[in-house]
């Protein structure tokens, strides 16, 4: 029995369950209880264990969107309550009025107001999390309980890692086999494709085993030994039974002559041709290359026993079969044993793949949310579990678990371990809030059985929210009538969980608060329920056509009528966005979308996988980017021009292929795009490409062209944001290639601006938690039978129907049909609606309408209409869009010379060749005696090396004192394809960390203050690179030849990243890593060679700019106390391959105080108000 919940007197201690039916104000109740927890409100039997801050009240829900909504609703409620207690406003509801009455004295009210205000201001740190985020935070904060926590990439799935694990096991298990063992393996698995499909189907979806070298070895040994034993047993069995089967088959052949009258066997049930096929299978099994199983059915085996043979003998005939037939039972048992062993081998193979997947994830520091839950669960059950439980109880004395019906057994086990549901302890509280009638996420590991188990644990402390605040009274009443009728019948109850006197999932009717507004159509109230019915036993396709047409027609007529929401007068007209069509899958969605399009009704399927990178245009845009990045590559250019997104005709493509002039023209435009990308970014480049070919205008003339244009524009903006974190066009291209190859659940979803005024087509699963003024359920009786789990299917379908019906605020429309699946008869009685209406199993179609009328009789708000075909088509004319204001004209000048500059842009004209691919394997190691000379050369190798140095600098180069650092380095190498060089890199980084840096002689390992990858931006005086070039050639190594800087005007901003800034003996230094290879050994790295490398690549300009950025930063930070001679040390180029050479790889740019002010004046803007 459950008690109605009163938010003012609900006991805020112990363990309690709150059942919140759809629309009954669950979030409002949560916020009210939160206010009481902050105040510590209540009498002795109702008060919480204390008054708590937001960081002590754990609120857990299952989506990020829900956490944001809850946080905001709670914060607003706290502020509203605080204002009431301060006397700044009057209470707006009975809860606040009663709460205020419980604090009659002004002093207690002031204290309460202070606590509420403090809590509202502390909501940024509130413990409101998704379950996954909370598990992750606990693991990070409590490493004592579960060992070392490694930062890991968190992903939604591991699908991209599964193929490698499957390939590994296929190679490891198959390649060593030969002979019979090899043949049996291939008989089981056929080929890798079949192997992959079967193993993936059985891989654990929500839990991977804990891997270790030992567990991998145990699994491999067990599989190998079992496979060997099984094949040996098969061989022995063949040797034993080959002569016996030959005798049995010879006897049978003799008893089945071609002439039917001469055979003693009944030719209807024991045909000679059929029996010879059985014998052929048995004889084939006896062969050395035969199958492991003769593949006879149970019935066929039974007919070959002595009793089975006698049963097939014709009247007046007798047979005298060999006694060996009586031993076939033992043969069958032996074959079944072999089959069981093969099943065990299959399970061991699945376990092996799961172990390999877990191992790979650990090596690349990858975790999904299930891994995080599993790890915390194991920590809570482990040897340090009690200490962890104590810590969490102190940290979160009270917990409110929202959407508890969607929890899993593991999640329940964790919560029970922490809060002990059975104990009902007064010093802590856990309150489980949910609605088991809406438990529909079984495919996400939600398990209604976990809810029922928790419900039993906290019995009898069950509470109900009894008032529906979402729907109008007639809608609430018709839903009550439907489910209450099924609940009151003898049997398992509305949701089919009742057994004898135990009803763990009862239906409780709710009251209706009603709504202030009313939906009127042509001045009359819209029926609360419209039932479109047919007695035609349609199959799936016919049902889709019939009900989709009727749904669209009803919807179209509603939109074309004068329908609107009224209070005392018209409040708002009914719009397409007020209507939602709920479906099960994309097939149902396609049917209704097609029917809507025939009536010109705009719609959007909100369950589309509309992530940006999943679109058909994304691969085409990748080709555009590749061709623009390499505009002189005709192969890439032709591939880009041939994309379907550009949509050029064959004639246009042929003209570019035949005419050199036309191709040169398009090539020149591609060069312009190349320069546009370099100067203004990828977004400007893509926009220029779109407008040059008039693509927006062309697309908007096409069906769904608005969506395509929006897709491309959103993707362009997304690429622009992403490029801000990457170095150059090539890095962006490589990133996009990786993303397209990796399954993702990117939050970047496509939404059109006009989607806001379209009919929503949405799956029932995605509609949960939402509400709509009018809801259509066109396929209410449609389902797919599941003979092996029909009861479970029906239970979930009933809950799905409940979720669908309770989304409506004002009106429902449902399509009801007898429905047949394939060759079956009418299946209406097996549907969720059929069960609730009380249809007898196998009921004829004619019973459908009387059942509907009986259930909702005496409800005038229910309207029945026959869904007959053909049906007229009512076209919809959308209301005209509001007139747009004229666009404002911008008359101000644009300074096209203003740009963002970097050292790379100053040296772009220098000869620089990049390898075709970033993989380390394409840079074969050169001979050398040390890792620094063996390590691959080139830009990609240098980029990878810089990344590892920045990572090591963040960890203070502590390779010698932190053993996990080397492990993490190897994992980083593995992730990026450099695992073959990991050992060399480890040794090299350790040498770099201990190398004395000139002129101080201090090693990187010993530097106390460092700042890696210092990003800087500073404004530039309008000048020319020739002036900067003249300054550097005059100041640094004068008289030495060097290539000129790229000619351009410097105006705008200079930006860059200094590899390492460090403080030593009160002076600041800039250090830049150089991975250039100047020779085959240490002797090649002389001072002359270092100087030549610096001047060839103009690194002296780079160091000067970095020192200028540091100079300007110190001027700001140190103010008037800054003295360049005293505080500015200099710049160092550290040639990493020469750290054991004559100069230890260091080349200095010394005495910056002598020239830094001159350079500053040269590049400082002349106009006031601009500084670094």
Residue-averaged pLDDT of the chain: 87
59-75 confidence digits (pLDDT tens): 999 888 889 899 999 99
The winner for highest mean pLDDT among 297-301, 838-842, 1107-1111 is 1107-1111
Using the CB atoms, write b or e for 183-210: b if 16+ within 10 Å: bbbeebbeeeeebbebbeeebeeeebbe
Amino acid 304: pLDDT: 85
Please give the structure tokens belonging to residue 351. 């376990």
Residue range 321-331, pLDDT digits in tens: 888 888 888 88
Strand order in the sheet with 524-525: 524-525, 518-521, 563-566, 570-573
pLDDT digits (tens, 9 = 90+) for 483-493: 999 999 989 99
Helix (H, G, I), strand (E, B) or coil at 198: helix
| 1061-1090 confidence digits (pLDDT tens) | 999 999 999 999 999 999 989 999 999 999
pLDDT at 87: 92
* Torsions phi, psi for 393 (to 5 deg): -65, -40
User: 815: which DSSP letter?
Assistant: E
Residue 1071's pLDDT is 95
| DSSP letter string, 1092-1157 | HHHHHHTHHHHHHHHHHHHHHHHHHHHGGG--HHHHEEEEEEEEGGGTTSTTTTEEEE--GGGTHH
What pLDDT is stored for residue 924 in this prediction? 47
Q: What distance in Å separates the CA atoms of residue 464 and residue 109, rounded to the nearest whole number?
A: 30
937 against 462, higher pLDDT: 462
Question: Which of residues 461 and 888 earns the better pLDDT score?
Answer: 461
- Checking if the pLDDT of 143 tops 70, the result is no
Strand pairing partners for 530?
813, 863
Q: Are 1050 and 1023 in contact (CB under 8 A)?
A: yes
The gap between the terminal CA atoms of the chain, to the nearest Å, is: 71
The pair phi, psi for residue 21, each rounded to 5°, is -60, 160
Q: Is residue 1026's pLDDT more than 50?
A: yes
Position 38 pLDDT exceeds 90? yes
According to the model, what pLDDT value does residue 584 have?
A: 93
Annotated binding site for Mg(2+): 946, 1059, 1072
Q: What is the pLDDT of residues 707-765, one digit of tens each?
A: 788 889 888 988 988 887 777 888 888 888 877 765 544 444 445 445 568 899 999 99
In this prediction, residue 999 carries a pLDDT of 84
- pLDDT higher at 600 or 891: 600
Instruction: State the pLDDT at residue 925.
Output: 46
Residues 630 and 627: their CA atoms lie apart, in Å, by 5
Residues contributing to the annotated binding site: 20-27, 946, 1059, 1072
Whether the pLDDT of residue 1169 is over 60: the answer is no
What pLDDT, on the 0 to 100 scale, is given for residue 511? 95
Higher pLDDT, 829 or 1105: 1105
Query: What is the mean pLDDT of the segment spanning 229-239?
Result: 91
Tokens of 573: 């007209």
Instruction: Using the predicted structure, report yes or no on whether residue 92 has a pLDDT greater than 60.
Output: yes
Cα dist. 211→20, 159, 361, 1130 in Å?
41, 18, 10, 51
Residues annotated within a binding site for ATP: 20-27
CA–CA distance, 377 with 358 (Å, rounded to integer): 17
- Percentage of the chain exceeding pLDDT 90: 48
Percent of the chain whose pLDDT exceeds 70 = 92
In the predicted model, what is the mean pLDDT of residues 646-652? 88
pLDDT at residue 1168, as a whole number: 44
Average of per-residue pLDDT across 953-977: 80
Catalytic residues: 1072
Identify the DSSP state of 205: S
Q: What's the confidence (pLDDT) of residue 714?
A: 86
Mean pLDDT, rounded, for 1118-1144: 94
Q: How confident is the model at residue 548 (pLDDT cuts 50, 70, 90)?
A: very high
pLDDT at 747: 42
Burial of 963 (0-12, 13-18, 19+ CB in 10 A): exposed
């Amino acid at each position: 029995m459950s008690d109605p919940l009163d938010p003012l007197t609900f006991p805020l201690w112990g363990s309690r369950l709150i059942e919140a039916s759809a629309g009954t104000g669950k979030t409002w109740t949560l916020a009210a209880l939160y206010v009481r927890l902050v105040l510590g409100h209540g009498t002795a039997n109702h008060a919480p264990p204390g008054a708590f801050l937001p960081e002590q009240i754990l609120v857990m829900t299952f989506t990020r969107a829900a956490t944001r909504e809850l946080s905001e609703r709670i914060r607003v409620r706290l502020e509203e309550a605080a204002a009431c207690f301060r006397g700044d406003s009057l209470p707006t509801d009975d809860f606040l009025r009663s709460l205020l009455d419980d604090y009659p004295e002004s002093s207690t009210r002031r204290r309460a107001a202070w606590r509420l205000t403090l809590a509202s201001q502390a909501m940024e740190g509130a413990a409101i999390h998704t379950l996954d985020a909370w598990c992750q935070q606990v693991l990070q904060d409590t490493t004592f309980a579960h060992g070392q926590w490694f930062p890991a990439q968190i992903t939604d799935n591991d699908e991209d890692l599964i193929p490698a694990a499957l390939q590994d096991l296929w190679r490891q298990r198959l390649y060593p086999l030969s002979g019979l063992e090899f043949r049996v393996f291939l008989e089981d698995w056929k080929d890798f494709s079949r192997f992959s499909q079967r193993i993936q189907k059985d891989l654990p979806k929500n839990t991977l085993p804990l891997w270790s070298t030992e567990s991998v070895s145990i699994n491999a040994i067990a599989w190998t030994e079992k496979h060997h034993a099984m094949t040996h047993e098969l061989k022995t069995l063949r040797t034993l039974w080959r002569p016996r089967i030959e005798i049995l088959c010879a006897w049978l052949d003799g008893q089945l002559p071609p002439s039917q009258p001469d055979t003693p066997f009944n030719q209807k049930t024991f045909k000679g041709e059929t029996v010879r096929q059985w014998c052929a299978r048995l004889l084939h099994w006896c062969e050395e290359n035969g199958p492991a199983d003769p593949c006879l059915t149970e019935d066929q085996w039974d007919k070959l026993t002595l009793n089975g043979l006698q049963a097939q003998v014709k009247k007046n005939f007798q047979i005298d079969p060999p006694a060996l037939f009586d031993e076939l039972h033992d043969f069958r048992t032996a074959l079944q044993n072999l089959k069981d062993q093969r099943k065990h081998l299959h399970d061991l193979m699945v376990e092996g793949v799961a172990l390999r997947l877990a191992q790979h994830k650990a090596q690349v520091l990858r975790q999904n949310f299930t891994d995080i839950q599993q790890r915390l669960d194991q920590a809570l059950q482990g040897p340090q579990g009690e200490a962890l439980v104590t810590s969490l109880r102190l940290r979160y004395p009270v917990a409110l678990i929202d959407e508890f019906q969607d929890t899993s057994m593991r999640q329940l086990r964790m919560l029970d371990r922490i809060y002990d549901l059975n104990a009902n302890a007064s010093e802590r509280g856990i309150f489980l809030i949910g609605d088991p009638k809406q438990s529909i996420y079984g495919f996400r590991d939600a398990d209604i059985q976990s809810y029922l188990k928790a419900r039993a644990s906290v019995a009898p402390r069950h509470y109900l929210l009894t008032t529906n605040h979402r729907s109008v009274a007639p809608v609430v009443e018709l839903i009550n009538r439907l489910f209450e009728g099924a609940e009151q019948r003898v049997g398992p109850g509305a949701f089919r969980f009742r057994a004898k006197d135990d009803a763990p999932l009862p239906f409780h009717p709710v009251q209706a608060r009603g709504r202030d507004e009313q939906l009127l159509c042509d001045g009359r109230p819209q029926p609360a329920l419209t039932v479109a019915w047919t007695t035609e036993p349609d199959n799936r396709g016919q049902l889709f056509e019939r009900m989709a047409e009727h749904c669209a027609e009803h919807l179209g007529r509603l939109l074309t009528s004068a329908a609107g929401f009224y209070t005392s007068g018209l409040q708002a007209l009914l719009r397409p966005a007020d209507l939602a069509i709920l479906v099960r899958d994309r097939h149902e969605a396609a049917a209704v979308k097609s029917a809507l399009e025939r009536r010109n009704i705009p719609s959007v399927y909100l369950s589309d996988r509309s992530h940006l990178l999943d679109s058909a245009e994304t691969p085409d845009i990748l080709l555009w980017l590749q061709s623009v990045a390499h505009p002189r590559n005709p192969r890439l250019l032709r591939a880009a021009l041939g994309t379907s997104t550009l949509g050029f005709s064959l004639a246009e493509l042929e003209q570019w292929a035949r005419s050199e002039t036309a191709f040169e023209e398009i090539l020149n435009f591609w060069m312009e795009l190349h320069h546009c990308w370099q100067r203004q970014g990828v977004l400007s480049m893509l926009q220029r490409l779109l407008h040059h070919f008039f693509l927006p205008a062309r697309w908007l003339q096409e069906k769904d062209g608005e969506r395509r244009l929006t897709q491309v524009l959103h993707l362009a903006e997304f690429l622009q944001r992403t490029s801000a974190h990457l170095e150059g066009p090539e890095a962006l291209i490589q990133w996009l290639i990786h993303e397209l190859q990796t399954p993702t659940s990117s939050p970047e979803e496509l939404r059109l601006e006009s989607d806001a005024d379209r009919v929503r087509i949405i799956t029932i699963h995605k509609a949960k938690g939402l509400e709509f003024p009018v809801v259509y359920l066109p396929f209410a009786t449609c389902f797919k039978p599941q003979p092996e789990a029909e009861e479970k299917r029906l239970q979930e379908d009933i809950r799905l129907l409940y979720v669908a019906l309770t989304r409506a605020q004002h009106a429902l429309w449902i399509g009801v049909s007898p429905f047949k699946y394939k060759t079956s008869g009418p299946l209406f009685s097996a549907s969720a609606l059929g069960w609730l209406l009380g249809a007898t199993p196998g009921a004829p179609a004619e019973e459908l309408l009387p059942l509907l009328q009986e259930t909702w009789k005496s409800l005038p708000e229910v309207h029945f209409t026959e869904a007959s075909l053909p049906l007229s088509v009512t076209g919809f004319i959308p209301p005209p869009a509001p007139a747009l204001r004229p666009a404002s004209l911008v008359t101000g000048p644009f300074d096209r010379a203003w740009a963002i500059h970097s050292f790379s842009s100053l040296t772009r004209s220098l000869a620089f060749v990049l390898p075709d691919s970033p993989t380390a394997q394409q840079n074969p190691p050169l001979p050398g005696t040390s890792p620094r000379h063996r390590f691959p050369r080139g830009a990609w190798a240098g980029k990878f090396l810089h990344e590892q140095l920045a990572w090591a600098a963040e960890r203070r180069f502590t390779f010698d004192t932190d053993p996990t650092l080397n492990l993490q380095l190897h994992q980083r190498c593995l992730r990026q394809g450099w695992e073959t060089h990991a050992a060399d890199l480890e040794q090299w980084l350790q040498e770099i960390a201990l190398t004395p840096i000139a002129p101080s002689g201090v090693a990187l390992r010993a530097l106390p203050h460092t700042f890696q990858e210092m990003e800087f931006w500073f404004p530039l005086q309008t000048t020319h690179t020739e002036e900067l070039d003249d300054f550097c050639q005059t100041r640094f190594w004068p008289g030495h030849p060097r290539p000129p800087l790229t000619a351009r005007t410097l105006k705008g901003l200079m930006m860059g990243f200094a590899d390492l800034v460090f403080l030593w003996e009160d002076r600041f230094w800039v250090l830049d890593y150089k991975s250039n290879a100047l020779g085959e050994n240490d002797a090649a790295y002389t001072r002359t060679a270092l100087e030549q490398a610096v001047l060839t690549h103009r690194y002296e300009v780079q160091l000067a700019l970095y020192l200028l950025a540091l100079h300007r930063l110190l001027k700001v930070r140190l103010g008037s106390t800054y003295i360049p001679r005293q505080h500015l040390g200099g710049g160092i180029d550290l040639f990493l391959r020469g750290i054991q050479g004559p100069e230890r790889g260091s080349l200095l740019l010394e005495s910056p105080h002598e020239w830094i002010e001159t350079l500053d004046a040269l590049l400082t803007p002349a106009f006031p108000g601009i500084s670094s």
